[in-house]
Each structure stands twice: as structure tokens, then as C-alpha cells.
Structure 1
């Protein structure tokens, strides 16, 4: 099982992840895409990466705004798996 990050660890990590914030036991980011279809394409690419990593985000689609919520449910909070997937999402969204 993945090890939970401490509150200090999460604060430090978030300082290196612009656009991400803590929401309870998860980190979240909303990406605004140029169109609905661009957002759906981003979701598909993130889904492919998440499947490869065997770590799946909660995703909320609101027209061109895509919100990603990352938490390691089996560990009960934020782990390095979430940080790694957040960096992957950032790369895919840029």
C-alpha cells in the first residue's frame, strides 16, 4: 500500500504544482480547455495514462472545464501516486 504524505509534504508538493490545491484528503485542479471536444480529448489522454499507472482520478466535466481530483483511496489520502499522476495531467494539459 502507498504511504500517506504528511501535511508538510503535501504543502511542499503543491508549491511545485501550480493550479493544484488540497481539498480534504485529495488534491484537485480544474483545467479550462478551448472547446468541449478538446476537454473530452484531454480526459481520454488522462484516462490512458491513469490506466497505465493503475491509478484513477475522479473527473468532473463541465463543458470546457475539466476538474481532476486525486486521492489514493486504498491509503485514505494523498500519496506519491497522486503527485505523479498530477504531474502527468499537467504535462498532458499543456
Structure 2
């Protein structure tokens, strides 16, 4: 039975007003918590595990030395944000504050690989088989364990000569300094679709898109027009 506590985008944003450590992106609540040490990060990880067990609702947590990257979404709600995610985020934030952890939203990055193609069906199965991924409803391919970047197919009648590009999604609140730093590297920026995404082209013609949650569908479906 589908979950009935899925939050609308407006409800997600309302919850975020009470969750300053968290950001919304790619259809999930996300945070990065920098702890005082590796040991304190592991202790907080254990505490989060206990909270998850108590709530019977389990986040994705990536422990990297003194930093925890946490993603909250509800699989039984089609991997969308539910009231349970917001409640668990509040509990995690309280424990993080008690442990001295500091939120680092500028560390949040979600990377996707996009391939220009005029015939998605001709290549999709090859990539799915090689990666061991699962095909999603929108045709994209995703790692069932959430370890590798998603791969999706940019359908176009005129594929770019360089068919691969990366979509790098960051919180909109953190995007301006990143764009400034990109420009300082010599990258050419095309802001036509901003703030949804900005196309950056390096000095050798390779492209990436710096994307934000602004204008993106709540289910996290790709919106990049490249």
C-alpha cells in the first residue's frame, strides 16, 4: 500500500524552515555533519542507527572519517519525502547538536552522468548490464545500493560531439560561490536555464551542468536540457 504521508514541495519547504541543518535536493532531505573527530562521527552514526531502528525508518548514511553524509527519503512512498523523513531529520539534528557536530551544506553534491543519444533503447541495456543498475520509471539507470552515480539519457536528434557530461546538483543556497569559483578556473558559464542549472564548459570544450533543486520535479527526475 503506498504511503499516505508524502509531503508536497510546499510542505517540504515549510519543514526546512525548522531544519536549518538540512537541504532538499534530488527528491530527498540531505545534510552533511562534520564531527569533532572520527570517533565522534562513528558515535553519532550509531546514535542515528538507534533512532532509525526506533522509528522503523532508515536513512542512507555515508561515514567519511569525521563527516557523515545523510540522505532521507521514503522508499515505500516512491523514494519521495514523507512526514517520517522530516520527523527523523529533527531527531538527528537534535543529536547532532548534542554531539557538537556542525552542518556543512557546502559539501553536499549529487553527481549524475548524462549521455546524449538519439536512440536510448539502442544503448540503455548495455549500460544497465555493465553497471548492474536498475532501470527507473523515467528511463534512467540507478545503483540499487546508492553507491554509484545515476546515469540518464539525454534524448536529442543532434547529439553533442562530446556525448557525456556530468550533472552536479548542489543546494541552491550554496550555488553562487561555486559558480564564481568555476568562472575563476576559466570555465565558460551559460546561465540561460539558471537557477535550475548552469552549463559550464572547460577550456577544452568539456561540459558539466551545475544544477539546483530550484525548478526540479519533487521526485528528483532530471530536468537538464543539455
TM normalised by structure 1 equals 0.95
- 1:24 maps to what in 2? 26
List gaps (5 residues or longer) in structure 1: none
CA distance in 2, matches of 1:62, 1:34: 13
- 2:73 maps to what in 1? 71
Q: 1:85 aligns with which of 81, 85, 88?
A: 88
CA distance in 2, matches of 1:73, 1:31: 23
Counterparts of 1:4-19 in structure 2, within 5 Å, are 4-19=6-21
Please tell me whether Structure 1 or Structure 2 has the larger radius of gyration of its CA atoms.
Answer: 2
1:61 offset after TM fit, Å?
Answer: 1.1
- 2:199 maps to what in 1? none
Q: Which has the higher contact order (CA 8 A, sep 6+)?
A: 1
Over the aligned positions, Cα root-mean-square deviation in angstroms equals 0.9
* Conserved 8 A contact 2:21-2:93: no
**Structure 1 outlier segments of 4+, above 6 Å:** none
1:2 offset after TM fit, Å?
Answer: 3.8
> In the superposition, relative to structure 1, how do residues 2 and 38 fare at CA in structure 2: closer, same or farther (>3 Å)?
farther
CA distance in 2, matches of 1:3, 1:52: 18
Structure with the bigger percentage of strand: 2
1:20 offset after TM fit, Å?
Answer: 0.4
1:63 offset after TM fit, Å?
Answer: 1.1
Residue deviations 1:29-70 (CA, integer Å, cap 9, x gap): 111000001000000011011001100000011111101100
SS in 1 for 2:68: strand
Structure with the bigger percentage of helix: 1
* Conserved 8 A contact 1:46-1:89: yes
* Conserved 8 A contact 1:13-1:83: yes
